[in-house]
């Protein structure tokens, strides 16, 4: 059996051990969520809330739509969608906990208490991946706020939006809540944002930040009529690379003309139809300690890549992992969805039956990766 290279075009939910975050969530020991713990499927608010706050590692798979006011998430948890349409209608709160993965979910608050849809305070090592986060209430709040020394976070392939185009406070993401919180925040707030989509009706905070080391790359900004996108405030260090700002106002600027903020950009950010500030400079920006440049897409391609790939994904698999042993792909734990839904797949342009998929083996040292949306192996599912 010969080695071969499989290039895959999108991402589906996988076991926590099969995929790792890019960016700050890969530091400080990494972010594995509930890997190694038991897996449970929940269909009710009671089951979701009790398992999310329980001790020990656990992978919690959300089936259907669960309406709940708030879910408090304890350490060492993965909360992920079990199938297409998996939704938490409520908010997620993470306090002084660590090692959490949230992925492949719609998280949309339509009723309930006035608070952020996703909130982190004092939290460490969080990875939010392939989610769709929105606020549908009449009185809106932030979609994902990170305050009080949150650290080592990656948010990737996630769409942010508001349902109302007229309600106030359509402010998406706040990093550090106050200029007076330097003692707690400075040296923390290390956050990576990549391949996210700031979409309809977001007016500000994509994000707004202080005291941080934030890396924003390959994000798509399309919220027309906004006030600003990236706002760097007191002692913020922001690295802005290969993003696509599409007909928006003030792509990146020094909030309140703060002279202690730093914005470093590369020469591949895209600004079609934009107006207003594109501030840069002022001091020295951090250099990421993690590897990411082999994952950096061209800025001109980001709009198409993110619009196709952001939000929950079911149906096409991407694996970014060096396989060290032979394994049977159907038994490798890479496809948590019901395999009876598989209708077939293509390999190097050849249409193959399901029976071939079930017998496909991957040999040692086969590397399975995505490269700029190209696809050699694509697995197709029924809706």
**Residue boundaries of the structural domains of the chain:** 20-309, 323-381
Which residue, among 322, 302, 305, 307, has the nearest Cα to 369 in the 3D structure?
322
Q: Is the pLDDT assigned to residue 282 strictly greater than 90? A: yes
Q: Which member of 170, 205, 208, 250 is catalytic?
A: 205
Largest CA distance in the chain: 63
pLDDT tens across 212-263, in order? 999 999 999 999 999 999 999 999 999 999 999 999 999 999 999 999 999 9
pLDDT in tens, 166-208: 788 889 999 999 999 999 999 999 999 999 999 999 999 999 9
DSSP output for 16-42 = GGG---SSGGGSTT---TTTTSEEEEE
Q: 367: which 2 tokens?
A: 């590397």
Is residue 184 classed exposed, middle or buried when 0-12, 13-18 and 19+ CB atoms within 10 A define those classes?
A: middle
Backbone phi, psi, residue 12, to 5°: -120, 165
**What pLDDT does 243 receive?**
98
Determine the Cα–Cα distance for residues 243 and 209; give it in Å rounded to an integer: 18
> Residue 374 burial by CB count (10 A; 0-12/13-18/19+): exposed, middle or buried?
exposed
Is the model more confident about 19 or about 152?
A: 152
Q: Name which of 290, 193, 289 is nearest 238 in CA terms.
A: 193
pLDDT tops 50 at residue 42: yes
**Residue owning tokens 């996210």:** 196
Cβ count within 10 A of residue 237: 23
**How much is the pTM?**
0.81
Chain centroid to CA 361: 30
Task: Count CB-CB contacts under 10 A for residue 321.
Answer: 16
Q: Which two tokens mark 375? A: 């696809």
CA distances to 30, 196, 210, 288 from 26, in Å:
4, 18, 22, 11
Using 50, 70 and 90 to split pLDDT, how confident is the model at 317?
A: very low
Based on the residue annotation, tell me whether 205 is a catalytic residue of this protein: yes
Fold of 20-309: Pectate Lyase C-like (2.160.20)
Out of 70-79, 155-164, 331-340, the most confident range is 70-79
Tell me the Cα Rg of the chain. Answer: 20
What count of residues does the chain have?
383
pLDDT at 285: 98
What's residue 270's pLDDT? 98
What is the arithmetic mean of pLDDT over 98-121? Answer: 91
Quote the pLDDT of residue 165.
79
């Amino acid at each position: 059996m010969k080695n071969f290279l499989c290039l895959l075009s999108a991402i589906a939910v996988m076991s926590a051990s099969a995929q790792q975050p890019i960016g700050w969530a890969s530091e400080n020991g990494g972010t594995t969520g509930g890997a190694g713990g038991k897996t449970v499927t929940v269909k009710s608010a009671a089951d979701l809330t009790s398992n999310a706050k329980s001790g020990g590692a656990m992978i919690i798979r959300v089936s259907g739509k669960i309406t709940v006011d708030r879910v408090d998430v304890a350490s060492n948890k993965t909360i992920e969608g079990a199938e297409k349409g998996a939704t938490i209608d409520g908010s997620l709160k993470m306090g002084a906990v660590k090692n959490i993965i949230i992925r492949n979910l719609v998280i949309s608050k339509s009723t309930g208490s006035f608070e952020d849809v996703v909130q982190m305070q004092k939290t460490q090592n969080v990875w939010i991946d392939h989610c769709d986060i929105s606020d549908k209430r009449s009185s809106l709040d932030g979609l994902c706020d990170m305050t009080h020394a949150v650290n080592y976070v990656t948010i990737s392939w996630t769409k942010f939006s508001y349902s109302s185009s007229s309600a106030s406070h359509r402010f998406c993401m706040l990093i550090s809540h106050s200029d007076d919180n330097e003692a707690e925040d400075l040296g923390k707030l290390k956050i990576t944002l990549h391949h996210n989509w700031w979409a309809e009706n977001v007016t500000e905070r994509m994000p707004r930040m202080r005291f941080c080391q934030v890396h924003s790359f390959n994000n798509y900004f399309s919220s027309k009529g906004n006030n600003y996108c990236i706002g760097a405030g007191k002692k913020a260090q922001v690295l802005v690379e290969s993003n696509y700002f599409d007909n928006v106002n003030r792509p990146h600027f020094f909030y309140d003309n703060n002279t202690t903020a730093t914005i470093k950009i590369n020469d591949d950010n895209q600004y079609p139809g934009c107006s207003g500030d594109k501030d840069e400079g002022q001091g020295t920006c951090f250099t990421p300690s993690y590897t990411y440049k082999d994952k950096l897409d061209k800025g001109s391609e980001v709009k198409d890549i993110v619009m196709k790939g952001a939000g929950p994904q079911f149906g096409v698999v991407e694996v970014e992992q060096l396989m060290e042993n032979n394994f049977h792909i159907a038994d490798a734990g890479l496809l948590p969805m019901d395999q009876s839904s598989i209708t077939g797949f293509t390999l190097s342009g050849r249409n193959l039956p399901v029976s071939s998929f079930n017998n496909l083996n991957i040999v040692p040292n086969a590397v399975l990766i995505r490269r700029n949306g190209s696809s050699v192996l694509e697995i197709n599912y029924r809706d």
